[in-house]
Amino acid sequence: MNGFFGKLNFVHRQLWRQDTSYRVSILLGPAALAGFLLAGAAWLASAELRNDRLLGAAPQPPNWAIRPATNQWDSSTGIVTNVNRDASLPPVSADGSLAGFSRGWEMSTGQLEVNALDATLLPNHLTSFSSADPNLDMATILANGPKNGPLYLGVGSAFLVIRTAGIYGLSAQLARPAAAPANCLTRLAFGGRRVVSTLEVGLSGNTLKTYEPIKFDLQPGLYRIVMAFGCWHDREAIGPGSATVMIAHPGERDVVPATAAELVRPEQRSSQAAAAARPGLTRPAAQ
C-alpha cells in the first residue's frame, strides 16, 4: 500500500511541475481530482500487469492437468527394481526354442471408445487369434478383426524372455508410411503398469516414433508384456501402420526392436487365462 501511494505521489509531483492544465484541473475542484485518482489507479494496475507479463508470470495449471497417471511408470524415478518374473525359464528344445512356447503374440481385438480428448480401450474382446510376428501390424489386425461392429484395435499378450540378469530399457515404436490421415493409439504394459501410452492425432506423412524407454532391473525368467495398437479415421480402423516393442539390453544405450525369440506365448492357453492377459491397458468404462 505504501508503494502505491508513493507512486501516486511521484506522478502527482511530475504532473504539477510539467503540466499547466493539470494544475488548473486540481484547482477546479474535487470532481477533477476524483477523475485523476481513478486514472492513476488504472495506470498503476496496467503497469503491474505489464511487469508480470515481462517477467513471465502465468497462471498455474490445475492439479488434474499435471498429475501423472498412477498406472504408468515414471521415467524420472530411475531404475525400476520391483518387477517380479511370472515364470522361470523353461528348458530349451533342440531347435533353440523354449519348450512349451511358440514365438509371437496371443492376440485379440478390443473395442475402442474415442472422443475429442482421449481414447479408452474397453475390457471386452471382439475376436481372438495368434501371430508369430514380433510387431503388431495393422494388416494382421484388420484381417482378423470384426467385419462389422464397433471401432477396435489389436491387443497382444506375450512373455518377454530374459536370459541374462541386468538393466533393460523398454519402449515402443510407432511406424506408419505416408497415407491418408489417421489417429493411432500405442500402449505398452509391463509389470502391471503402462510403459508407453500415447495417442498420435492426424498422422499423414511418413512417421517413425520411438518413445522414451523405462529402465528395469530384471533377473532371468519370463515376464508378462502386453501391447495395444490401432489406427483409425472417421471411427473406422484403417492401415497401414505397426507398433514394435523396443528393448535395450544390459550394457547397451540404444533400444532396438525385440526379436521373435524374445516374445513368446504358451502353446496352449485356457480361455480364462486369455481373459486376464491385458494388465495395465484397460480401465473401467465409467472412468
* Distance (Å, whole) CA 111 – CA 151: 6
* Distance (Å, whole) CA 239 – CA 184: 10
* Distance (Å, whole) CA 121 – CA 49: 45
pLDDT at 170 > cutoff 50: yes
Residues, the chain, total?
287
The predicted-structure confidence for 24-58, as pLDDT tens digits, reads as follows: 455 455 555 555 555 555 554 444 444 433 333 44
* Distance (Å, whole) CA 267 – CA 280: 24
Considering the four listed CATH numbers 3.40.50, 2.60.120, 3.20.20, 2.60.40, the one that applies to the domain covering 69-275 is 2.60.120
Query: Which residue, among 205, 208, 170, 194, has the nearest Cα to 79 in the 3D structure?
Result: 170
* Cis upstream peptide for 220 (omega within 30°): no
Q: Which range among 10-14, 33-37, 123-127, 231-235 shows the weakest confidence by mean pLDDT?
A: 33-37
282 and 198 in contact (C-beta within 8 Å)? Answer: no
Identity of the amino acid at 70: T
* Distance (Å, whole) CA 211 – CA 261: 22
pLDDT for 11: 53
139-167 burial: b if 16+ Cβ within 10 Å, else e = ebbbebbeeeeebbbbbbbbbbbbeeeeb
Q: What confidence category does residue 264 fall into, taking pLDDT thresholds of 50, 70 and 90?
A: very high
* Distance (Å, whole) CA 287 – CA 280: 14
For the question of whether the overall pTM of this predicted structure is more than 0.85, the answer is no
pLDDT for 115: 79
187 and 156 in contact (C-beta within 8 Å)? Answer: no
* Distance (Å, whole) CA 14 – CA 17: 5
Residues 234-258 have a mean pLDDT of: 96
pLDDT at 231 > cutoff 70: yes
Q: At what angle do helices 20-28 and 2-18 cross, to 10 degrees?
A: 110
Cα 137 to Cα 30, 123, 142, 212, 231, distances in angstroms: 80, 21, 9, 21, 10
Where are the chain's structural domains?
Answer: 2-54, 69-275
pLDDT for 274: 41
Q: Is the sign of the CA dihedral 223, 133, 152, 243 positive or negative?
A: positive
pLDDT for 94: 82
